[in-house]
Chains A and B, each alone.
Chain A
Amino acid sequence: MNAPQPLHPGVNLDVTDRKSHEKASEVIFGFWIFLMSDLVLFAALFATYAAMSTQGIAQGPTPSEVFDLGSAFIETLLLLLSSFTFGFAILAMKYSTSRLRLLAWLGVTALLGAAFVAFELHDYYVMIVNNDAWPQTSGFLSAYYLLTGTHAVHVSAGILWMIVLAVQVMTLGPNPLVKLRLLRLALFWHMLDIVWVGIFTFVYLFGVAA
Chain B
Amino acid sequence: MNLKTVSNSAPPAESRHEQRNYCIGLCLALVLTLIAFGLVWLKMVSGTQALAVLGVLALVQVVVHLRFFLHIDLGKSHRDDLMLILFTSLILLLIVLGTIWILWDQHARMM
Contact = CB atoms under 8 A, between A and B. Distances in A.
Interface of A: 1, 3-11, 15-16, 18, 29, 32-33, 36, 39-40, 43-44, 46-48, 50-51, 55, 69, 73, 76-77, 80-81, 83-84, 87-88, 91, 94-95, 187, 190-191, 193-194, 197-198, 200-202, 205-206, 208-210
Given A51-B104, A91-B15, A6 B29 contact: no
Contacts of A80: 26, 29-30, 33
A191 B65 CA distance: 9
Interface of B: 2-3, 6-7, 10-11, 14-15, 18-19, 22, 25-26, 29-30, 33, 36-37, 39-41, 43, 45-47, 50-51, 54-55, 57-58, 61-62, 65-66, 69-73, 75, 77-78, 80-81, 84-85, 88, 91-92, 95-96, 98-100, 103-104, 107
A47 B99 CA distance: 6
Contacts of B72: 9
Contact of A15 (B6, B65, B77): B6
Contact of A43 (B30, B37, B55, B96): B96
3 cross-chain pairs, A with B, having the tightest CB-CB distances, nearest first: A47-B99, A209-B50, A51-B103
A29 B2 contact: no
A32 B81 contact: yes
A80 B46 CA distance: 26
A95 B15 contact: yes
B85 A46 contact: no
Nearest to B78: A9
Contact of B77 (A3, A5, A55, A205): A5
A209 B53 CA distance: 11
Nearest to A46: B96
B19 A91 contact: yes
A1 B6 CA distance: 11
Contacts of A198: 58, 62
Residue among A3, A9, A94 with max Cβ neighbours from chain B (10 Å): A9
Contacts of A33: 84
B77 A6 contact: yes
A135 B71 CA distance: 38
Residue among A4, A16, A36, A87 with max Cβ neighbours from chain B (10 Å): A87
B25 A84 contact: yes
Contacts of A210: 46-47, 50-51
A65 B57 CA distance: 24
Contact of B100 (A4, A32, A51, A187): A51
Contacts of A193: 65, 69
Given A80-B33, A209-B46, 18 more contacts: A4-B6, A9-B70, A9-B73, A15-B7, A15-B14, A29-B81, A43-B91, A47-B95, A47-B98, A48-B99, A69-B37, A77-B33, A84-B25, A190-B65, A190-B69, A194-B62, A201-B58, A209-B43
